Structure 1
Amino acid sequence: MNAEALVEVVLPGTVEPEGLQIRHGAVPAPGPGQVLVRMEATGVSFAEQQMRRGRYYDQPPFPFVPGYDLVGTVLATGDGVGRDLAGARVAALLKVGGWASHVLVDAADVVEVPPGIGAAEAETLVVNGITAWQMLHRKARVRAGQTVVVHGANGGVGSVLVQLAHAAGVRVIGTASARHHDALRERGVTPVDYRGDDVAARIRALAPAGVAAVFDHIGGRGIVDSWRLLAPGGTLVSYGSASTRDDEGSKQWPVLKLLGRVWLWNALPNRRRAYFFNVWAGRALAKDRFRARLRADLTEVFAAARRGDVTAQIAARLPLDRAAEALRLAESGTVVGKVVLTP
């Protein structure tokens, strides 16, 4: 371990991707309850796109190391950690810190990756898989034979949502730009071009009686259309505010508006439900329960991958020192799946 060196990517402020900085240092030693993980794969999620603009609603102050999740091998364990973890390939949900060659993680927060799943493949299923699984099965509680709408069906979360929905016997209508429609059709998705006129009307034509669930990462004014697409008993799951990524002003305000709408809709006498999904919900108040749920759900996602129900969607693999290029590619809107960073 001493022969290795720490390499990490630093986000110094609200900069263009090329403003990311590479920092070198000594590999840290794990403290009590921690493990030292040598990163094998980390990813570029939408959160990092917001963070570099200062738009992620609870990001830390600059400068910091981004990186929402990672997969890697445990190099060392701290006091109080079972030695059986040493040498294990694990996944971890971090929010920040993953864009580094070596990362300290609480041992209670890592989940072992089963044999047969590569590091990059597993990485695409950590935050995206947990988010998709929990929205589909814990919030919307979908059932076979139902129809759902997935906005951004070609994206990181969207592509996993589509596959998990099909595994559950659910029909999917997915919005995406026209260049992604053939790929979506191959996955059994009925595509709708989100850039066309009156997207909601075209979805209603495909599902006149309404849909069982809508998964909306866009937010903004379009969230009202998503709510109106629901059939009686349907569920809207809002999980982001992508439409406000390039806005100025308060980064909390778009989320607060979404929360306000969700509260109002649920307070009205109707047979529909709305949620604002946050993968970190409950951690502060019930950390052990949060960890148990995360472990259970990520285990289900990995099992789905081993069965072939979910195939990793890797848009590109780039080395850590090309993080700026990776972030620029992820922001281009031209890729399907997730951009992965490797050592």
Structure 2
Amino acid sequence: MTNKTYDKLFEPVTIGAWNLKTRTAMAPMTRCFADDQTGVVGEDVVEYYRKRAADGIGLIITEGVVISPRGKGNPGVPGIYSPAQIEAWKKVTEAVHGEGGTIIAQIWHVGRVTHHELAGGLPPQAPSAIQAEGVVPRFRKPYDVPEEMTTGDIQEVIAQYAQAAKNAIEAGFDGVEIHGAHGYLIDQFNSDVSNHRTDKYGGDLAGRLTFMKEVLRAVIDAIGADRTLIRFSALKMDNPDYMWEDPEAAIQTFIAAFHEVGVTMIHPSTMNFTQVIADNKTLHQLVRKHWKGIIVGVGSLDAETAEKAIEEGTIDVAAFGRPLIANPDFLHRIHHDEPLVTYDAKQHLVTLR
């Protein structure tokens, strides 16, 4: 592509309740810079998000924000369940809004991929008592064997999602993204690898999506469909090679569930936006084949690929991850055709602020 103006990428757009300055989003990325004991974010996080809003990013999706102490899966992740956490987030949202930006909280429960020392001394929660393989990132201890959730546990966690969404609005967020991807709790219910239940929350894929649907209904009832985004994926952080046996059929089943509960905005997630997964189509192309609503696209995107995907109508908003860690002025750089700083995990882990 020779077009360096990126007319579509820099175009304002309204999705749901959000009037975005550009068709760009900051992808949610776990940073682990909250106080480890309290889950409260500090001034460094305020400035981190303010800079990206000042650059013109249309929609900022925060790092995963846990809905309960038991939902925590990494040291230093923030929460949105205590008054102190809500108050701290207010500074972030005020700073972003002061730059004319839009920011939503990604609400998160990691389910089985944690350790009791992180989850308040309690065993991890999961649809079935099946241990994940591997070790907890940044903690380096093996995942614990989880406790199979009772129907009462399930209802309690659904209520925690709804309360987290209400807390996010109280903290000044413009809405939430429900993290239903990457092998975390909702995706553990969705997956035949981690869900061996025989009640209404198990069975075939349509049955396994019941928990996700109930979470979506509760959050939509709490804050509205126009402020609710759902992220879903075949990708699992503890099983990176996993793929649905029939990707198009799985996508159709997910989309039927989204229609059933009134979802209007979705965020299909992949590590490689251009990877063909079925019928000579990428994940987002398959989703667009069956979904007429809003799609936020993500997957190691660059500006040219994003511009083309928006032009073609495959996605409505393009989400960028690592380039925005390395380049707080990412949009300024691509708009002026200036070179980008290359993301380096060791360097930017400490300098991203």
Q: What TM-score does the superposition give when structure 1 sets the normalisation length?
A: 0.28
Higher relative contact order (CA 8 A, sep 6+): 1
User: Which has the higher Rg, Structure 1 or Structure 2?
Assistant: 1
TM-score by length of 2: 0.27
Kindly indicate which of the two structures has a greater share of residues assigned to strand: 1
